[in-house]
Amino acid sequence: MLWEQAAKYANPKGELTHEDFAKYAKKSKFFKDQVDENSKDKTNYAAKREALAKGELAFQLIDRNKDGFISRDEFKKFSTKLSSKQIEAIYSKFDEDKDNLLSVEEFRRMLKAPKND
């Protein structure tokens, strides 16, 4: 579908130059939504990638010993505004394998969870 739309900007040989593609992208709702942080489409690719990158960075910062997991102690040291009870609730809900560690996947699920959960 995107190719059909972009093809309208191609030359008679069917080639799409960088300039022609730029013209198409500037008018395309799809590409506008990818870079518009105020877009109503909150599922856009760029926003997802940025959120994922921020989540990965946060995980790396909290995982002080770099073992690929966040222990309760590491989480507690990083999250100074959370009470022990709140941290226990987080681990109870998101530590799916109950090993007292948050894996990258478990941490991602925590970040994606609705705020009122």
Residue of 112, 116, 114, 110 lying closest to 70 (CA atoms) = 110
With beta carbons less than 8 A apart as the criterion, state whether 76 and 87 touch. yes
The Cα–Cα gap between 27 and 52 comes to: 27
Q: What's residue 46's pLDDT? A: 67
Measured in residues, the chain has a length of 117
> What string of pLDDT tens digits covers the 117 residues of the chain?
455 665 676 778 777 676 776 776 777 766 666 555 565 655 666 667 777 788 888 999 999 999 999 999 999 998 888 899 999 999 999 999 999 999 999 998 898 888 765
3-class secondary structure, 67: coil
Q: What is the pTM of this model?
A: 0.59
Task: Domains for the chain: give ranges and CATH numbers.
Answer: 2-35 (no CATH), 45-112 (1.10.238.10)
Q: What's residue 51's pLDDT? A: 75
